[in-house]
Amino acid sequence: MNNLRLYTDLFFDELEIYEDVERGHKYKAFLRQAVIDFLDHETKETAFAVYLAFFDSYRIKLEGASNPFVDLLDVLRSYEENASTLIDTQRDHYVHSVNVFILGLSFYVQNGKYKNAFNEVNLDKVDYPYSYSTRHEEFFYRWGLASLFHDVGYPIEIIGKQIGKFINFASAVDNGAKITARLEFDNFESLNTIAEVIPKKEFTKSYYEKYEACVYIDLLKPLDLLAHKLHLSLGVDLKTIKSALGNFVGIMAKNGFIDHGFYSALIVLKWYGFLIQSCNYKPEYFYYPVLDSASAILLHNFYKNVIMKPPFSKGPLSPNEHPIAYLLILCDELQEWNRDAYGILDRRRSNAGDVSLWIKKEGFDFIYITNNGSLPEQFSKDKEVLLRNLLDMDAVFSEGFSICCESLDELAPLTSSLKQNTDLFPRPLLDNLEKLAIAIHKLYNDKKLEKAPDQPLEWPNFSDLPESLKYSNLRQARSITDKLKLVGWEMRPKGNAGKVINEIKADIVDILAVFEHEAWVAERLSTGWKYGPIRNADEKTSPYLVPYNQLNEEIKDLDRDTIRNIPILLDMIGMAIFQIESQSE
């Protein structure tokens, strides 16, 4: 249960594809359906369909050849499924990258500040005259390259981990010192070279003449190109960053680690550089959008591990410095749900199976949900601190952001009775009962903070609630259909024919608030609560166990909020409020 379907629908509603507009293709429909199918069922097969849709829509391949980029991603999938089971820590990156892609589309369409930063940096026709004029397509292309390719070099990291694990296992017989295994190359420059298909001077001419600093770099060397791009975007010294990148393979070998983003960026530049020349495309297509995306891929780990340390010592990355890198770091760090654990240790840990998320105009809220076990106690706090250390979050999210964790396994005893008589309730409601209950508590806390921002929340997370209050939220979620029937409405999947109720009017809110309060009182009394002048969850006493007309306006408004939030809650599970046909005739 999350809003990614809603946000991606908004994005695709606004997106224009040049090939559709000018040549009558239907690429947007193809891409959109692949994303919808993936969100309905997040599997490797539906992820493959997204990769295929994107790289077929923006295909660069030799006549008669298969799509090389899809083939390359298949290698990543194969390595993860087969080789990574032998190492300690390894999670899915194949499905993960598609979720990162979709999450980035969602932030872009919802957050005007980020969108403006991207447009200011990348849509200057004087700087790059060949950017797409179709709506949002320049972002879509650059973001698709960066997000879908950012982990394509992971097999190299898997190989390095396997070597290290096996060598240390083999040497452990005498309890000797830990051995650091190195990955080295006899001919690394072959990887760090783009084949010269057309005369080098002709291919590099426009870029070389634009920037004086190009006299210090080789424009068919990926590392030189990346150094120059970081020099332009981040303001780092060209000579220093060129040296850092040139020495990085040796540094990784010496310290026994592998940055897969480094190799992913190299692969993207090497492949695209060769294919763009071979297909006789404009060199600018390579030196602007592709180089921009490749440098973002590099930075998604390199920024933290190198650029934030001496001699560069950069602070949190600004969206105006490198918009695609900013978004990639953000989405890569946030995408923690539905990631299959392949590594030996990762398979023993609890992982988030789902997420409830809300992306607002200048903020966001994420609730990671585990089905079995719990995420580490410091997970949420550590994630928030990490994002603030890496990114200038206030530049884009001035309303703030929150990250929470909840576990569903402890709710099973509470929900068993509520899921009886399933023929009386829509299946999406029952299937998402626990997640709706968590969302109800989240929305309740949001309203409390709006009214009293300086007052600490009594129960910040759903898991903090006493059992009786968890049950109350579950009961509230299940009773949605009863409330709607009182006014001639019902819940149905979004997209169905009929009159949709997007907002509940004030007079109906007041009617249903009375019903909600009466149901709440009945539920409380049935679980051992009683009237008392002071609210005490331990003693199960409440001053609000009285008729609705005896409540003060502040407490009545809590019941009204419960009703006002119904459209929001239903939208989270792909449902909406519809007027029953007989009532609209």
pLDDT tens for each residue of 241-284: 999 999 999 999 888 788 999 999 999 999 999 999 998 999 99
Distance CA 356, CA 582 (A): 35
**CA–CA separation, 325 vs 319, rounded Å?**
8
Residues 6+ apart with CB under 8 A from 61: 67, 68, 275, 279
> Could you report the per-residue pLDDT of 464-485, keeping only the tens digit for each?
888 778 888 888 888 888 888 8
Cβ neighbours of residue 366 closer than 8 Å, sequence gap 6 or more: 334, 355, 356, 357, 401, 402, 403, 404
Instruction: Quote the pLDDT of residue 385.
Output: 95
H-helix segments, 192-259: 200-210, 222-234, 238-246, 248-255
CA-nearest of 541, 579, 559, 368 to 479 is 559
As a whole number, the mean pLDDT across the chain is 85
What is the per-residue pLDDT across 480-526, written as a single tens digit (0 to 9) for each?
888 888 899 988 887 788 899 999 999 999 999 998 899 889 888 88
Query: Which tens digit of pLDDT belongs to each residue from 43-89?
Result: 889 999 999 999 889 987 666 566 677 777 777 677 666 665 555 55
Does 155 or 241 have the greater pLDDT score?
241
Element (H, E) at 368: strand 363-370
Q: How far apart are CA 268 and CA 271, in angstroms?
A: 5
Contacts of 138 (CB under 8 A, 6+ apart): 122, 123, 131, 132, 289
Name which of 335-349, 418-432, 519-533 the model is least confident about: 418-432
List the strands of the sheet with 354-359, edge to edge. 354-359, 363-370, 400-407
Q: Over 80: is that where the pLDDT of 425 sits? A: no
Write down the pLDDT at residue 2: 57
**Contact in structure between 431 and 415 (CB atoms under 8 Å):** no
Give the whole-angstrom CA distance, residue 273 versus residue 434: 50
Q: What is the pLDDT of residue 396?
A: 97
**Residue 134 reports pLDDT greater than 90:** yes
- Spatial separation of the C-alpha atoms in residues 119 and 105, rounded to whole Å: 15
- Residue 451: strand, helix, or coil: helix
- Provide DSSP, 535-574: -BTTTTEETT-S-GGGS-HHHHHHHHHHHHTHHHHHHHTT
Give the alpha-carbon dihedral of 107, 112, 118, 120, to 10 degrees: 180
Residue 450 three-state SS: helix
Domain residue ranges of the chain, discontinuous segments joined by +: 4-334, 410-584
Quick one: pLDDT at residue 344? 46
Q: Is the pLDDT of residue 285 over 80?
A: yes
Q: Which of 147-156, 237-246, 340-349, 470-479 has the highest mean pLDDT?
A: 237-246
Secondary structure of residue 310 in the 3-state scheme: coil
Q: Does domain 410-584 have CATH number 1.10.287?
A: no
- The secondary element (H helix, E strand) that includes residue 387 is helix 379-390
